[in-house]
Chains A and B, each alone.
Chain A
Amino acid sequence: MDETSTPTALLVMQGISKTFPGVRALSDVDFEVRSGEVHALMGENGAGKSTLIKVLTGVHRRDSGSMTLDQHDISPQAPIEAERLGISTVYQEVNLIPQLSVAENIMLGRQSTTAGWISWKAIRQRAQQAVDRVDLSVDIDCELRRCSTAVQQMVAIARAVDLDAKLLVLDEPTSSLDTKEVEELFKVLLRLRESNIGIVLVTHFLNQVYRIADRITVLRNGQRVGTYATEQLPRIELVGKMLGKAPQEVAEIESRTATVSDTTPSSEKMLEVSQLGRKGTVEPFDLDICRGEVVGLAGLLGSGRTEAVRLLFGLDRATTGKLKVDGKRIDKPTPRKAIRAGVAFCPEDRKREGVILDLSVRENIMLALQASRGLSDALSYKQQLELSQHYIDALKIKTPSTETPVGNLSGGNQQKVLLARWLAMNPKVMILDEPTRGIDVGAKAEMETLIESLRKRGMAVVLISSELEEMARTCQRVSVMRDRMKVGELANEDVTDQKMMEMIAQHHDD
């Protein structure tokens, strides 16, 4: 099914290899994009997608191989050079400057000047045209950081398009957008495709790939598995190629996680929340979770679900309400008090609030345990090694060694390091905020299995996920949130993505 280069190829990358100290990230990878197509780049964590993109955009330099754009050899040394060549990139984390206005961000680096003086009028005009082109209604004088993530993403795209891009690279553009925003984004992408721009889309969402991509290239372990026309590649085969497994094995993984265990949770309450709230952030809510129970918090972005769990862990200070863990009251929760009481929290923004990128895998894993033991009661180096090695094996963390900085690992593996850190504490309550965001299918399935095993061990688990199917598979109960309020609860057989969606939507119509 492999397709070879055609004359209409816009970008041709051939035999690209890239090695980092200790890690062969890409070996002999071919990749080709045509004008006017949406080309999805897919693969597991650590497959080499990001590295390939970074070689393309001049962030990294390739060790070997060739690249042509419009039949001209290129080898960009920096992102700005790639932009000049017509390759624009929108990264997963928006890399614009939050303190500048929308207009300034769009025109950054190419301000119109007359005899050295900036013409603000021209800048604003051109920026307005750019946002109009992607159908974005935003005040261009507004500071970028005051805009929602979705708008920031669109501004980044508006900028990319305004750079007269021939090739637009989108690295995980949808992972922080809700369904409606994704639709808006896709409308813009389809229009750009009509104007003959080549679009590379890196994403983990299968549904989206099948909605919009013309062709799919799959990478695995730094090598190209193949390039396929979307309509000729059934989903199950795509997943199989990403995981390097035959389709029936994939079905097995899915069925293993799909069966919600019938072992019923005990009635022993591990977490009792009554009227906990914070002015202007979350309206007071109640929530009880028993030993061995997984309770989901469903809702759209901004519904208050993340804000609610931040109150539970004391990352934000609650202004009203009470919190009890295993029968013991936590007064004015702080992370330290919450951890002492047996609460663990894997945050949504794992790079900012979770893992510490400069520290090694070993150090990241032992950090919480050590913090709770205090300075005087230090874990010996040997204990630390055993502890981290145990979790590296148990959670199958892919890392060259225990001493590798966590920043060098892929997103899914960073998430596992974070989990290992908390498992080492043997917590009573585990809060997981979007544990599967930005990680691939295989790792997602593993994460679901893991949550199930935590539950069986008697933990009370709070799960937030934007993927309702995932919640339906994993949770015994779901609290639905909307507009910073808890609006209802579903239990047992009522926990289906359909019912959750109805509950979220129904309240939206009010």
Chain B
Amino acid sequence: MTIDPPNPIRRITTSPLFWPLLGLVLLLIFNAIFTPSFFNLEIRDGHLYGSMVDVLNRGSIGIIIAIGMTLVIATGGVDLSVGSIMAISGAVAALMLTESNVSLWGVIPCALLAATIAGLLNGLLVAVVGIQPVVATLILMVCGRGIARFLTGEKVIALVDDHFSAAFDYLGNGHFLGMPFPVTIFVLLVLATLVVVRKTVLGLFIESVGSNEVASRAVGIQARTIKIGVYAFCGFCAGIAGLIDASNINAADTVNAGVFTELDAIFAVVVGGTALTGGRFTLVGSVVGALLLQTLLTTLYTFGFASDTAPVPKAIVIVGVCLLQSDAFRQKFRRRSAA
């Protein structure tokens, strides 16, 4: 076996980040040509405004969910219940703010705890009981929303008038350093997660369990604990997203909160370059994937698509990015262009 030096161009194109980034850049170029106003930024009352800021702001929920989802998918699983967990978290927070005198500093931990416990249950079903992840999390996906509705008495709890909490409102609608506060939340969460999984060996252990659980157990990695942990973390992330969502509209709307977020998160992770089969994962890729989806959605709205019909062109772009990522497809294309 002789060894050739690695080709630098090939090294860039084989990086899992390359294709989602390329997709995002293409989309931005498209906007630059057809809606130059897309890149306009203005400062009003010390706050930054513009389409780009909107993308970051509206995309924050998707990014936060995608972070948790990435780790779950890296272990070879999937979590379909994140939307329902968002509803639960929002419901718990709204209920406590209206029915009790607990301050926001007590409300937030309680809502996040509820979400984390929900995730933990998913983890136990998957890792201990041994139910397939899709089925295990489907259970909570279906009944979680029911639990949330039960908590709110089957109605929308509005946080207005007497119940309005300026501090809770700040979570989803406030500004920090000129940027919408949800942006601060997702940036901090991404950084914290990156540090925990990449500066310790947790990330490697997750990849190891996702690639080969049996062999991981045989080197002494506690595969079960790791799996339970990632589902709990995914629940925690969904809890944060649920709080932001409830704060955005100052209400707990258990019917509409987080509907379809699980699918968007899975899209973001896969488009970002993490395989559904588990193993190697990239958190930054998932963030890029989520941003790509949000940019796309914003672009479609700019072009006058209604939210009901926007999924169609969205699906087309997603297929495009997935094809770009596929080695087999690219090779076919290359061969044809060579011929």
Contact = CB atoms under 8 A, between A and B. Distances in A.
Contact of A378 (B1, B10, B201, B219): B201
Contacts of A353: 214-215, 218
Interface residues of A, number: 38
A488 B214 CA distance: 32
Interface stretch (A21-29, A166-174, A317-325): A21-29
B3 to A, nearest CB: 5
Interface in A319-371: 335-336, 339-340, 345, 347, 352-359, 363, 367-368, 370-371
Given A335-B217, A352-B215, A421-B219, A24 B2 contact: yes
B4 interface: yes
Q: Of A355, A370, A378, which is in contact with the most chain B CB atoms at under 10 Å from its CB?
A: A370
Given A22-B6, A353-B218, A358-B279, A371 B1 contact: no
A356 B200 contact: no
B1 A315 contact: no
A371 B2 contact: no
A359 B206 CA distance: 11
A356 B216 contact: yes
Q: Of B208, B215, B219, which is in contact with the most chain A CB atoms at under 10 Å from its CB?
A: B219
A371 B219 contact: yes
B3 A23 contact: yes
A313 B217 CA distance: 11
B3 A358 contact: no
Contacts of A21: 4, 6, 10
A359 B208 contact: yes
Contacts of B211: 356-359
Nearest to B212: A356
Given A21-B10, A376-B200, A339 B219 contact: yes
A22 B219 contact: no
B1 A355 contact: no
Contacts of A22: 3-4, 6
A221 B1 contact: yes
Given A368-B220, A378-B200, A398-B1, A355 B6 contact: no
A367 B222 contact: no
A357 B277 CA distance: 13
A359 B207 contact: yes
A222 interface: yes
Contacts of B280: 358
Contacts of A357: 211-212
Contacts of A359: 204, 207-208, 211
Nearest to A410: B1
Instruction: Give the size range of B's interface with the partner.
Output: 20 to 34
Contacts of A19: 4
Given A358-B207, A359-B208, A367-B204, A336 B222 contact: yes
Contacts of B204: 359, 363, 367, 370
A354 B217 CA distance: 10
B205 interface: yes
A375 interface: yes
Nearest to B226: A375
Contacts of A339: 219-220
Contacts of A363: 204, 208
B220 A336 contact: yes
Given A368-B219, A376-B200, A356 B208 contact: yes
B66 to A, nearest CB: 21
A24 B1 contact: yes
Given A21-B6, A22-B4, A372 B215 contact: no
B221 interface: yes
A375 B1 contact: no
A480 to B, nearest CB: 26
Interface in B155-213: 199-202, 204-205, 207-208, 211-212
B212 A352 contact: yes
B207 A371 contact: no
Contact of A371 (B3, B4, B200, B205): B205
Contacts of B222: 336
B202 A23 contact: no
Contacts of A336: 220, 222
Contacts of A358: 207, 211-212, 279-280
A119 to B, nearest CB: 34
A400 interface: yes
Contacts of A412: none
Interface in B86-116: none
A179 B327 CA distance: 43
Contact of A375 (B3, B200, B219, B279): B200
Q: Of A21, A23, A359, which is in contact with the most chain B CB atoms at under 10 Å from its CB?
A: A359
A435 interface: no
Interface of A: 19, 21-25, 46, 221-222, 313, 315, 335-336, 339-340, 345, 347, 352-359, 363, 367-368, 370-372, 375-376, 378-379, 398, 400, 421
8 contacts: A23-B1, A222-B1, A336-B222, A356-B216, A359-B204, A370-B201, A376-B200, A378-B199
Nearest first, the 5 closest Cβ-Cβ pairs linking A and B are: A371-B220, A358-B211, A368-B219, A339-B220, A24-B2
Given A23-B1, A359-B208, A367-B219, 18 more contacts: A19-B4, A22-B6, A24-B1, A24-B3, A221-B1, A335-B218, A336-B222, A339-B220, A353-B214, A354-B218, A356-B216, A358-B207, A359-B207, A363-B204, A370-B204, A371-B205, A371-B221, A375-B202
